[in-house]
Amino acid sequence: MTGAHSSGTIVEAAEMHPAPNGVVYQYGTAGFRTKADILDSVMTRCALIAALRSRKVGGQWIGMMITASHNPPEDNGVKLVEAMGNMLTEKWEALATEMANKPTPEAVLEYYEEIAFKNNIDLKSPARVVLARDTRASGARLQACVIDGLKAAGAEIRDFGYLTTPQLHYMVRCLNTNGAYGTPTEQGYYEKFGGAFKRALRGKKPTGTLTVDCANGVGGPKLAELIKYLPPKSEGLEIIIVNDNVVKPEALNVECGADFVKTNQRAPPSSGAGPNDRCCSLDGDADRVVYYFKDGNSMFHLLDGDRIATLVATFLGDLVRTSGLADQIKLGVVQTAYANGAATHFVKDNLKLKVECTPTGVKYLHHEAEGMDIGVYFEANGHGTVVFSPDTLKTIAAYEPRSPGQKESLDTLKACIDLINSAVGDALSDALLVEVILAHKNWGAEEWLGTYNDLPNRLLKVIVKDRNMFKTADAERQLVKPEGVQKLIDAEVQKVRQGRSFARASGTEDAVRVYAEGATRAEADDLARKVAEIVKAAGAA
């Protein structure tokens, strides 16, 4: 299905899927995402952008994932994936947004040709696009809209059907590295991560079982398949899968999944796990994971992205040191302002590692992590991974251990590198990495929780008339507009022991999110309430 586009077919494809009146689309942190019934035109136009992007990067494969992740079942979306399996560049996000909002099929063609002209893209050169979707009921219809656009643009199509979002990222990276990253098939994915898990365990057995809530999404069947490639449960890890009903798409993310657990601070009603049983929840497209357990008194404890980041940074830091590489490789952690203050102090004071703070959004954290030798990043919501610089990978590959102890640490480190999906946060590989670390430390969830005590915190949402009034600086930790508001917030923070608070405009709705921490639950709640009142007054002015 290769060959140059013809202007007629692009106009025809756009005519088949006309844009609804009065809808303004925005390529957000995770692509276009909204109600599925108003996305047909976006899908076709996004396909044109994907074809152009592929031509711009010399005919490499570009990915398109049809998903709305943790959103309700009636939503859907699409995101584009760069040639190395990472997020679309910001410049092309803007092009995609403008293309999605063109009023007529003729305007779509005109803009398509304008992008090609301004970016020196030869429209006769090959374009290649990889396609996959999650289990939403609207997925098949929206996929057909994508294919109409890709055919109109003369792109070659590889359609993988149902995949998790990280599996699609993996396929793109494999295809563009000629298999150096792995084999670009589902089986190749399972073999790579299953094999790495086995090597990283080094004969150690995780304690207890792991109950995995799959949000009734695509992660359920994919995890069931991955288990076949793991060591038998007698030698390795016993995984109990719950919430894997993909036959009923309307059950997706309902009363389950990572977002439900993080937002409600409780286990899914369907979990069924006993006291101190380790549990984790994926989101609808399996790119996020959070851990949790109930203690002997039925108290719920969340082990979120901050906890995963500190666990991973501790373990990898130890491996770098015990393999004799501490002089050559430096580890760093990337967080957002939402990271718990106790986690930040633990990394700085206990682990003695560098911490960088970026604005909210995985693309910012990933970019910052790419500047480190080893960059560990996880948003509190459970979306994250570890990035290894090309120089670091060469250093590790070339290093000759000087003792059996160093060799053992080096082998474990190499296995962990293979176990981590560095292209993007991957709930399945992240969970396997956590299990490897807990097995090496001979820890259950309680010991993991005991590494530090989270500061009590509260997140509030304040509805405002115009969120654009609120402008931030310093990685969203300081309000610069409206003027004078930050001073009022600072005055309230000063009154609270271990107080910290910030306010930032939501990326998706006319609201401002207020985060506050304090030494006690009462102080954190009180500070959040007072800052919310300040924001409310400023928003009404």
* Nearest alpha carbon to residue 130 among 152, 150, 144, 145: 150
Residue 508, annotated as binding a ligand? yes
Contact, 165 vs 9, CB < 8 A? Answer: no
**Which class for 177: exposed (0-12), middle (13-18), buried (19 or more C-beta within 10 A)?**
middle
Check residue 264 and give its pLDDT: 85
Tokens read off for 268: 């899914």
Residue 69, annotated as binding a ligand? yes
Q: Could you identify the residue written with the tokens 């030698």?
A: 235
Averaged over successive runs of 10 residues, the pLDDT of the chain (541 residues) comes to 62 95 87 92 97 98 94 92 92 96 96 97 97 95 96 97 96 94 96 96 90 96 96 86 92 92 88 87 95 93 96 97 96 95 95 93 91 96 95 97 96 97 94 97 94 92 89 93 94 96 84 93 95 92 70
Alpha helices, H only, 2-89: 7-16, 40-56
CA–CA gap between residue 208 and residue 204 (Å, rounded): 13
* Nearest alpha carbon to residue 305 among 335, 263, 264: 335
Residue 517, annotated as binding a ligand? no
Check residue 539 and give its pLDDT: 85
Check residue 1 and give its pLDDT: 40
Residue 211, annotated as binding a ligand? no
Strand order across the beta sheet in which 374-378 lies:
354-358, 331-336, 374-378, 384-388
Peptide bond into 275 cis (omega under 30): no
Contact, 80 vs 62, CB < 8 A? Answer: yes
CA–CA gap between residue 149 and residue 127 (Å, rounded): 12
Residue 255, annotated as binding a ligand? no
Check residue 217 and give its pLDDT: 95
CA–CA gap between residue 539 and residue 541 (Å, rounded): 6
Contacts of 229 (CB under 8 A, 6+ apart): 190, 191, 193, 194, 195
Check residue 374 and report its DSSP letter: E
Q: Is 69 a catalytic residue?
A: yes
CB environment 350-389: b (16+ within 10 A), e (fewer): ebebebbbbbbbbbbbbbbbeebbbbbbbbbbbbbbbbbb
Residue 518, annotated as binding a ligand? no
Q: What is the 3-state secondary structure (H, E, C) of 468-525?
A: HHCEEECCCCEEEECCCHHHHHHHHHHCCCCCEEEEEECCCCCEEEEEEECCCHHHHH
Contact, 533 vs 501, CB < 8 A? Answer: no
* Nearest alpha carbon to residue 376 among 364, 362, 388: 388
3-state secondary structure of 163: coil
Phi, psi of 378 (to 5 degrees): -145, 125
Computed over its alpha carbons, how large is the radius of gyration of the chain? 24
Strands 61-66 and 32-35, by their bridges, are unpaired
CA–CA gap between residue 274 and residue 452 (Å, rounded): 24
* Domains, the chain, ordered by start: 7-162 (3.40.120.10), 187-299 (3.40.120.10), 305-449 (3.40.120.10), 457-540 (3.30.310.50)
The active-site residue out of 69, 271, 429, 501 is: 69
